[in-house]
Amino acid sequence: MKFALPCFSILLSIFFGISAVNCASKSNNRQEEYNGIVATVNDEIITFYDLENRVQLVLLSIGGNVSQSTRAKIQSEVLNEMIDEKLKNQCIKKIMPRGGWLSRRELAETINNAIGEMAKQINKTPEQFLEFLKSKGIKSNTISSQIETGLGWIEYIKARFAKNINISESELNKICAAVKEKLTKESYYVYRMFLPIAKQSEEQNVAIHANNLINMLHNGADFTRVAKQFSKSADAKNGGELGWIFQGQLSQEEEDTLKKMAIESYSIVKSRRGYYILYLRDKRESGVRSITDLKIVQVIVPFREAKPPREIVDPLLDFINDLRKNSSNAETFIAKAKESGILIVSDPMLAVLESMQPQFRNTVANVSVNGFSKPIIIEGGILVLCVLDKKATALKEPSREDIKCQKTNEKLSLFAERELQDLRKKAVIVVDKKFTTK
């Protein structure tokens, strides 16, 4: 459950999309057709080559198949992001101290963390990811400059507006009391994206964009990857994951929508500020006040084709069930799986039972420590979950400081939105007629 957020650190996701990185790609017909200037932002240029590289990496990171019309919308959205980055960078240079806001050690740590996150998106280790970038002609300073702009924007917003935020003790008391009362209500495990409407004339385009993203999700795109690329809310860095949400924590429109949604479904909600895309991973009845921490190992029988026929699946099920029958516990089962030569055995990993998808949670809920689950047929193979450890922990209420930090971040988020809107209004932005932007 994610009530509290570290002060200001979550703002990284509000102002900076970690996974938007230049990615050199092979020439294509469109690039040969037009490789000039796409846009100028106060006399700084964005080329088609830069734009197309960014689009290619976005498509790689979000997964799923997209139509040509959806790709065109993605291209437009990426161009908007690149324009915003130019504006942010131009702005922060005016007040950034000579040595920057972060030490070299802090900056290096942030860059390494970002590379780790990028690598996960395409199922690579950080080392493999860096080699991948090198093979595409990407220099490491491309990533570094992106991160420095994002961090600089955070510091700029803090320097400009943090002094204007005051959360009184009476306001804090009301929020704390409300949070405590909500712990007893029905809760939802929610992922969310936010697409803001900067001005009324943009509403139709934002609505179309939201529907394009929904279509991508229905066609197999991963929600967390799409959220990291396109969401403008504070939870974007976590792939839009809000965790367990209690009644009253979200807007009335969102809450009404969640009550009607089926588990594992998506929905669009219009608000005064923009459009939300909700993904309901799970829901639970009121009164649940604990979580179960697990240490598990995944054992997988991989399929050689995407959707194998029953005559292939059934013998594999028989094989893994025979292995289960001849194993007295998880430790023995894992050892036999490694000896088999055909099963994939993961390293031990941590998980929260209540946060697992219903299919897996229901299967592993009654498995005892050092036990293993029944086989689960998943996309790509057959899965058995081995439980090495299980511990139930009572949910803790967020502290007053946690709640204060969260409210501060929410208010700074609003200041950041308004500041970027003002920068756009004052800027001289010229976009080639072949491309569209907001």
- What per-residue confidence (pLDDT) applies to 140? 60
Q: Do domains 11-165+418-431 and 184-198+212-288 have the same CATH topology?
A: no
Q: Is the pLDDT of residue 13 over 50?
A: no
CATH architecture of residue range(s) 184-198+212-288: Roll (3.10)
Q: Is the pLDDT of residue 119 over 50?
A: yes
pTM over 0.75: no
Q: Which of 133, 139, 155, 119 is nearest to 25 (CA)?
A: 133
In our burial notation (b when 16+ CB lie closer than 10 A, e otherwise), range 143-152 reads bbebbbbbbb
Which range, of 138-142, 244-248, 423-427, averages the lowest pLDDT?
138-142
CA dihedral 19, 21, 24, 26 (to 10 degrees): 40
List pLDDT tens digits, range 56-99: 767 766 655 667 777 887 888 888 888 988 999 898 888 877 77
- What per-residue confidence (pLDDT) applies to 32? 39
List pLDDT tens digits, range 173-225: 888 887 777 666 778 889 999 988 877 777 888 888 888 888 888 877 888 88
- What per-residue confidence (pLDDT) applies to 10? 33
Asked if 231 and 18 count as a contact pair (C-beta separation under 8 A), the reply is no
Residue ranges per structural domain of the chain = 11-165+418-431, 184-198+212-288, 290-394
Q: Where are the alpha helices (DSSP H) in 100-251?
A: 104-121, 126-135, 140-161, 169-182, 203-218, 223-230
Q: Which of 382, 22, 60 is nearest to 221 (CA)?
A: 60
Q: Is the pLDDT of residue 16 over 50?
A: no
Q: Is the pLDDT of residue 231 over 80?
A: yes
List pLDDT tens digits, range 379-402: 889 999 999 999 987 766 677 888
Question: Residue 349 and residue 355: Cα distance in Å, rounded?
Answer: 14
Question: Residue 240 and residue 234: Cα distance in Å, rounded?
Answer: 8
Question: Residue 228 and residue 62: Cα distance in Å, rounded?
Answer: 9
pLDDT band at 316 (very low <50, low <70, confident <90, very high): very high
Tell me which of 3.10.50.40, 2.60.40.10, 3.30.70.360, 1.10.357.10 is the CATH number of domain 290-394: 3.10.50.40
CATH topology of domain 11-165+418-431: Triger factor/SurA peptide-binding fold (1.10.4030)
Q: What is the mean pLDDT of residues 139-150?
A: 69
